[in-house]
Amino acid sequence: MSAMDRRPPGKPAAKRITVLQGEAHASSAPQVELSTVLGSCVATCLFDPIARVGGMNHFLLAEPPPHLGHLEFDEHYGLFLMELLINEMLKLGAAKSRLKARLYGGANMNSGLSQIGSANAAFARRFLQQEGIVQAFEDLEGQSARRVYFQPATGRVRCSTTAQAAIPKQKPAAPPQSDIGQVELF
């Protein structure tokens, strides 16, 4: 018996959509599940409980650098993807005043690099506050990557983290070589 045969009669098959960097997806279909994997990127899961419409975005950077202005206002930036997600949800019947947000990601995966994850997390919080969107939950920052699954028609989210192995600050010394098994090149 296949997995399709075990579904209750009349229940449609689940459809998983992977949300990649620079994408936003919205849906009201009960069988849709959105998923993504995050490091320093942030994903926003928005849900309208009355319209039963939800959506997810996945942004790499918060905003274009000031010296670029809006010349680089594209799918890499949270500012663009937040607006895109809200607009897609409004087209499906959501009302901005009823939106609830859950934020994920924004990890600082390598302590030796700039805090891109923290900057992304701060942007997402600030955007929601400025737009008057209720932030219902957050799982942001830290040093762990996350895998997020979101059912847009119900607002249910599952998130798991992965442990990050410590990255050594220096290259360890090579172990001493034995005389056995060495190869001499000619």
Six token digits for residue 75: 């799918």
Q: What are the CA-CA distances from residue 2 to residues 6, 8, 149 (Å)?
A: 7, 13, 23
Secondary structure element (H or E) that encloses residue 148, with its range:
strand 145-151
From 41, 42, 128, 133, the catalytic residue: 41
Six token digits for residue 150: 């979101």
Taking the C-alpha atoms of residue 185 and residue 165, their distance in angstroms, rounded to an integer, is: 36
Is 45 one of the annotated active-site residues of the chain?
Answer: no
Q: What count of other Cβ atoms lies within 10 Å of the Cβ of residue 93?
A: 12
Residue positions annotated with a catalytic role: 41
